[in-house]
């Protein structure tokens, strides 16, 4: 039995749609999590960051106006502060993120997720 696959997906994002198409072309029907509507909890986001091997700031969309409005470029902010900001404003989370078992990949570019298959 294969491990379940989940994707943190934004249907308005072309990379997210391309990643979903890439999975479908390989016969994988992931659980789709529309993270803007159902954001991860702080604990879930920590687990995702661990699986990706990333620090919180690496997973943030720095070009979003909310990033500037919340002064998230402040280097004095802790990882916990950044995680809380992403949970409160999920638009700040880079996408798409594909999870399979204990592994994760960021679909930028979409081919990155092939490492999970």
Residues classed as catalytic: 13
Cα 40 to Cα 45, 66, 109: the distances in Å are 6, 18, 22
Q: Kindly give, in sequence order, each residue whose CB lies less than 8 Å from that of residue 104, ignoring residues fewer than 6 positions away.
A: 48, 51, 52, 97, 98, 116
Half-sphere exposure of 32 (CA within 13 A, CB side): 14
**Measured between alpha carbons, how far is 41 from 49 in angstroms, rounded to an integer?**
12
């Amino acid at each position: 039995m294969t491990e379940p696959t989940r994707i943190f997906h934004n249907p308005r994002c072309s990379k997210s749609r391309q990643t979903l198409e890439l999975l479908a072309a390989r016969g994988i029907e992931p659980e789709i999590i529309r993270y803007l509507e159902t954001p991860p909890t702080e604990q879930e986001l920590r687990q995702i960051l661990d699986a990706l091997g990333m620090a919180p700031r690496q997973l943030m969309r720095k070009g979003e106006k909310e990033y500037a409005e919340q002064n998230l470029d402040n280097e004095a902010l802790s990882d916990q502060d950044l995680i809380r900001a992403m949970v409160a404003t999920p638009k700040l989370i880079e996408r798409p993120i594909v999870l399979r078992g204990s592994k994760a990949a960021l679909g930028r570019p979409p081919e990155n997720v092939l490492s999970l298959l």
